[in-house]
Amino acid sequence: MRLVKTRWSLACACVVFSVLVMAMTLKRSDMGALFPIMLSVMSFVAAVLLVAPETAMKLAELCSRPVTNIVFPSERFTKPPLSYQIARRHRTMQRLEEALVEYQSIIENYPGEREAYLELLDVAAKLGDTKACEKYKARFKRQFGEEI
């Protein structure tokens, strides 16, 4: 903790030094201003590097948040986006128990998905799970008002 405070104190001193040198240097218009400007910039870079361990991740997260909210909007939603891909992949690879779990998840989150019921019933029938078949046939009838 003491090292962190020391680094931040040094960084503050570097920024103050950088600003003072730059302010004095900008009043000059000759080539003699080149070295003080370079010194000022190096001092500022040193300040940034001194505080980087504590600030880099926070700044990166702050800058990337707008993009990640567009690409991965699930942080704002209470249920996962509707996708049959995992369930169908398990089904084609004959991992029927995993497919059944995925279809059940789809039905829990999206009870109005007719396809999910039909595909779940097909998987349950292949597994020989009569209990799941009866349960989801009854749910299908309640949801859609028709029998399978």
- Contacts of 69 by beta carbon, 8 Å cutoff, 6+ apart: 75, 76
Domain ranges of the chain: 2-73, 85-144
User: What confidence score (pLDDT) does residue 137 get?
Assistant: 92
The number of beta carbons lying within 10 Å of the beta carbon of residue 98 is 15
> Average pLDDT of 116-141?
93
SS3 content of the chain, % helix, strand, coil (to 5): 80, 0, 20
User: What confidence score (pLDDT) does residue 70 get?
Assistant: 78
Over residues 17-68, the pLDDT tens digits come to: 999 999 998 888 788 888 898 999 999 999 988 888 888 888 888 888 888 7
Q: What is the percent of the chain with per-residue pLDDT over 70, rounded to a whole number?
A: 96
Q: Does the structural domain 85-144 have CATH classification 1.25.40? A: yes
Residue 13 pLDDT more than 90? yes
